[in-house]
Every structure is written in structure tokens, then in C-alpha cells.
Amino acid sequence: MKTYQLNKNWTVNGKPVTLPHDAQISEKRSADASNSGHGYFPGGIYTYERTFTAPDAWEGKDVLVEFEGIYKNATVKLNGKELCFHPYGYTGFFVALEGLRYGEENTLTVIADNSKLPNSRWYTGAGIYRPVWLHVCEKGGLRPECVKISTVSIDPPSIRVQAPICVKAEVEGVCGEGSDFTLELPNAKLWSDETPNLYTAKITAGEGDETEIPFGIRRIEWSNKGLFINGKETLLRGGCVHHDSGILGAATYAESEYRRVRILKENGFNAIRSAHNPASKALLDACDKYGMYVMDETFDMWYNRKNPHDYGCDFEAWWDKDVTAMVERDFNHPSVILYSIGNEVGEPAEAKGLEYGKKMIELCHQLDPDRPVTCGANLMIMGKTAKGNALYKDGEQPGGEKKTKKEKKDGQNASLMFNIIASFVGSGMNKSANSKKIDEVTTPFLDALDIAGYNYASGRYPLEAKAHPNRLIFGSETFPQDIWKNWEMVKKFPYLVGDFMWTSWDYLGEAGIGAWSYTGGMPFNRPYPWLLAGAGVIDILGVPDGSCKYAATVWGLEQNPVIAVKPVNHPGVRPSKSVWRGTNAILSWSWANCTGNKAEVEVYSDRAEVELLLNGQSLGRKKVRECRAIFNIKYQPGTLTAVAYDAAGRETGRSELTSASGASITVRPEKAAAKPGEIVYVPINMEDASGIVESNADRKLTVTVEGGELLAFGSANPCTEEQYHSGSFTTFYGRSLAIVRAGEAGSMTVTATDGSRTASAVVTVR
């Protein structure tokens, strides 16, 4: 089997593009386009084409094209003949190129139909947004994803190799042969979040038919006593992650996924929930490398639609194919430790839905008996469904009986209704599933799962030891500000194995759901031009905020106190707040022209007391409660210092934030050198000579690239009419980011200007 990239030399609607490509991100947003869930982007139909010559040597072989992801309703044609239709936008699929003309030119056509909106609760992107591969396979030989490698034993380490044909496998000099055999690897090291040891199996079949498969050796065990990886009790410090790549839109580059996982790991996370669809291959590869556990999720909806044109239209005809696609693709990734069959679906409270749930659980077990199956279950939503008051209802049935205006509105705004309820109820939603009645209607489904995921139901955590002594649970979706209370229970209850906050990384769409606004308005369904959710503890540029460092402190990963400050450049304005974000404090004490403004300072520490000093003068000590102390002071430029003390009054650590001395444009590539075609992230900030970012000196910048290509430029501003593909954008709290693709060998220069001042940086390309 030979595999080739098929990402270059495409056109979309007649314009040349390189894949992966998000066709929606460059569309013009407007108040009339779709809704806040989609970020006010319009839909469209996008026709991709690529011509190529099939060598004569391919004749007699099987030629497959692999699409990692097309959003959505993809039709694939070869030389005008339809070969395949694939509706779901998040599962990969293979297409056999039947009818190839050998020695001649062929035309591959892909039509992605994302014209009917709304079809999701968040920004999806559109088109061929993940990579494409060409596989040339021997007849009856190896196929992509046909070889499975699983752990038989960790002491001594051994693996099982399964394939539909007879193969040979070689790992670290150890060899085996057959269609189902075991290899003992006595010197192998185990894979876990702390020790992500990877190996490569070289697989051969027939005459020279070969492939290489990375894998890790690790064992998953679970019971009401906890979750154990390689025999060690494991607590999941998790965060939910949507699929988009921030200012790139939905386009998925390996460099972007590796960067995201690395930043999450550096900030204390050891687990990711792929919300609410299968993750990209690249993200799983990155999780394998860095040691990040993955809750691999299938769907956001089943047969009851959350929007009129979403996957609910296709669920009953396609669910088994899409579940199979996810499990078969991800089987060999050691990072994947959980399969999730859905998110906040009400159907399991109905007989029909419960049956579908059990079928999906059974299918996952058949395809992979070694991994537990879960679901992000919102018990309140299931309780409403059981009462006949389902929160999510079908939208308009295409070709069927027309719905009334009210029914259409209910179908279109179900997600909005949930957000409204959550915004008003706030953290009280955590107790909404505590009733015996809800427990009764949810138990059949939750007990069918290997591990039950609870969305916003932390009130049930202390009850389950008595109510369900054999049930293992975790918080599959929680409010970030609840991390201290939740983590105390995680440490206390063996059957509670972790917490996944919403969200660990900010995302496009669901506009303003987590934002703090200084311009007024309701804390949900924010109007155009709101664009970002604003819910991430790490923003779309990859910059952690106070909430992120607070979680790391709660997890016991911060040795010194952490200082975070709510923006001080909005004097006298009371922000509208979101229930999905407990604070908007950032790691900055640099606010030009704000002297005398009120400043709310949050200090995070797991010690007994903290003291705050400004320019060496003590502002007092405070006891730490729930790993936090709050000081209300007046802003003065200089150095803000926090000192932590133990219960005996001894200093245990200190940290500081310093104000910038002026602000200039700085261009700081994260890599000094890159390969041709490699993606490079380039932070462009307003900084002083010491590299301190000035948070109150925002200005519009224009970025150009020589020796490469500017893919996107933008900031983390959640409410803007600026576009990421335009090359011009205004910094936000002093920060912005350019993402560039390196050209041919030589050098690449990235330049930023505000019209009067200019800064540049050079990346070596080799």
C-alpha cells in the first residue's frame, strides 16, 4: 500500500486552493445570516475539483481516496460519475476510484452542500476542511485501518495484532506472523499521560505491501472503585474542545492540533473531550505524542434534531456507519480511552431512544471490547423528555408534513432555549437533576453505559454512592468556576473519576455564550457582530486566562501564587456576565492611562494566606478560600506582587506582574526555522522592550508575508466585523496572531504595520 497526500492543486468554485480548506470562513457575515450559533455566517454549496493523471502502474490495483472530513452532505464524482454520498461532516470515509482512465487525465469532483442552515449549534465551517489522501493498494492486500493493535498484557508487555489477511509485524526487532497473533515486547515501556511512550509496528503482506502503525501499550480498567490506567488510579483533568482552529476557521492542520494539545498539556489538562464529534486524526496523533487522554465523541444529536437541518435528518440511516468509522479509525490510538455516543440527547428517556443507545453501546463493544463507552448526559434534558416536554424537538421535516410557525421556531431555537435556562438558573442547574423522578427515568440508560458522563449535574455526585453503588461517573461538562467544588468531590469519591470543563479552548460560533460584555445586552444569544463563544479558559490565540490558572492551582500544579486582573480600562461600567465564565481576569498588570481606576485582583493559591504588594507596599493579607483571594485596589503602574504563606505563616512562594514601559509592535514567530509548506504561528503583540504586553494600547495592524503565505490574521476579540482572511485586524488586550505557511527553501519574512510603525521577523525555511 502506497499513500500520497492529495492536498494541492484543487479549485473550489473555480478558484485555486490548497487543502485543508474552510470555504465558509471567508464568507461575508451579516445580521441576516443564519443565527448566533453559526456566528452569523451564511451557508453555501462548494464544488471542489482536481485533475490528475493515473499512471499505468496503477492498473490492476485498488485506488482509494480518503477524505478525513467534509462539511457536509458530500457528493464525490470521478469523471462526472457519482461514486459516493456522505452526509455527516465529521467522520472520514474512503472512496474507491472506479472507472479510472489509466495513462489519461481524470477529474475528481467533490460537492459539499452546507446551504441549509441552521444545521449545528456552533460554527462548523464548510468544504474539504480536513486533509485528503490517496491510497494505492494491492488486490487482496493491506487496506487503511485494516490492522488493529491492542494490549494483551502490561506485565510483561505484549500486544495483539489482528488483520483480515495474513500479515507480518515487526516491533523493535520482535516479529510475528498471521491474521491474529501476539507479540511479547519485554523491554517496552508503557503509555500513559505521564509517560507517553510510543512504538511503531512495521506491517507487511505479500510481496512488498507494507505500512507502519504507531501504537502505545496501556491497559484501561474501571469499576466503582475508579478508573485505572496501567493499574494506577487516574483522575481526568479535562476540557471540552470544539473542532475549529480559531482564526483559521475549520481548516485542520497538523501543526495547529499539535500546538493546541501542547498548550493544553502545559496548562495542566490531561484529558480532552472532542465536543461533540469525532476529533481529527492530527489531534489524536498529538494526544498520543504528548500524553493526553481523549473522550472520543460521535454525535451532538440523535433522531430528534436540535436544528432543522442537522445530523438528526440522517441519524437513523447512518448512525451505525458513522460509529463504525470513528471506532475503526481511532482503535490504534492509545490516547483514546473513552467512546462517547452522544451529547445532551433527550432520547434515552424514551423507549425508542433507549434502544438506540443500547445498540450503539453494543456496536462499540463489538468493534472494541477494551474501551469503556460513555455519553455526555444532561439529566435535566432527559427528565424533560420523559415528561413529554422535550427541550430539543424536530424542526421542519423536508418533504414531509409542514410544521407550524411555532413548531419551526421551537426546532430552530432549542439550543437557545437551553442557554437561556442555564443563564438564568446559573450554577443552580447542577442540582436540577437531583429528584428521584429524574433518577428513575435516567437510570436505565446510565446503567447501560460503562461510565456515565454527567453534564451540569454535580449535585448528584454525593448521592450516587448510596443511590447507585456500582455506578462509575465523571463530570462530562461543567462550569469552569465550579472546578474547586468539583475537584474536591473528585478527590473524595472513588467513583467520580474526573471533570471536563466547558470549555478549555475558545471557539467560533455560539456567539457570546461565555463572554463578559461592557456594551450591555443579555448574556446569551448576543447579536451580530458577536462571533466567538468567549467561553474558553484559553482563548482562540492559545493564551490562557485567569480561569485556566485557577484550575491548575486547584489541581495542585502551581507552585507559586498566580495573579489575574479583571480589565481596568472600563471605569464605571458593570459588565454583563455569562454563567459559562466565572471571571474575565487575565494575567496582566499593564493598563496604560488607567491610573486611579478600580482594579479587582484575583490571587490563586492552595496555601493558607496570600499578601498583595504594589510597588513594594503591602496592600494587606487575606485568607485563601477555595484557592482564591480577591483584592479590590486602585490601578497604579509598576509591579504587583503576590506572596503565599502556609498555615504557620511561612512564605512558600511569590510571583509578580509588571507594567509595560511603552508599547511597540513586536513580531515573534514561535519557530525560528520551518520546512517548506510548514505552518508557523506568529504572535504579533503590543509590547515593551522586555516583552511585556501592554493591554490598553490596541490598534489596527496589517500583516504581509514574503516567501510564504498568510493563512489568517486576527485577535481574540469576540465581537468584531473584521475578517481573519483580510490581512488587517485590531489587537485585543494588546495581542494578535498571524498564521503563515512557509514557501520554498530560503527565508520567510512576516511584517506588521499600523501605518506609521512597522516590525518584521524572519523565519528560515529549509
Enumerate the domain spans of the chain: 2-137, 148-205, 259-525, 557-658, 664-765
Kindly list the distances between the CA atom of residue 266 and the CA atoms of 260, 270, 582, in Å, as whole numbers in the listed order: 10, 9, 22
Q: What one-character-per-residue DSSP string does 659-725 give?
A: --SS-EEEE--S-SEE-TT-EEEEEEEEE-TT-PBPTT---EEEEEEESEEEEEEE---SB-S--TT
Q: What is the CATH number of domain 557-658?
A: 2.60.40.10
Q: What is the CATH number of domain 259-525?
A: 3.20.20.80
- The proportion of the chain whose per-residue pLDDT surpasses 90, expressed as a percent, equals 91
* pLDDT (average), residues 253-278: 98
Confidence of residue 403 (pLDDT cuts 50, 70, 90): very low
End-to-end CA distance of the chain: 29
Interatomic CA distance for residues 242 and 502, integer angstroms: 10
Q: What is the CATH number of domain 2-137?
A: 2.60.120.260
Q: What is the chain's Cα-based Rg?
A: 26
Write down the pLDDT at residue 394: 56
* 664-765 has the same fold as 259-525: no
Contact 498, 490 (CB under 8 A): yes
Task: List alpha helices for 414-477, DSSP H.
Answer: 414-425, 436-448, 464-467
Find all residues with CB under 8 Å of 457, minimum gap 6, and list them. 377, 378, 379, 380, 430, 432, 433, 475
Write down the pLDDT at residue 526: 87
- The proportion of the chain whose per-residue pLDDT surpasses 70, expressed as a percent, equals 95
pLDDT of 409 above 60: no
3-state secondary structure of 730: strand
* pLDDT (average), residues 537-561: 98
> Any bridge partners for residue 82, and if so which?
77
What is the per-residue pLDDT across 351-397, written as a single tens digit (0 to 9) for each? Answer: 999 999 999 999 999 999 999 999 999 999 999 899 887 777 654 43
Q: Does the domain made of 664-765 have the CATH classification 3.40.630.10?
A: no
pLDDT of 314 above 80: yes
3-state secondary structure of 213: strand
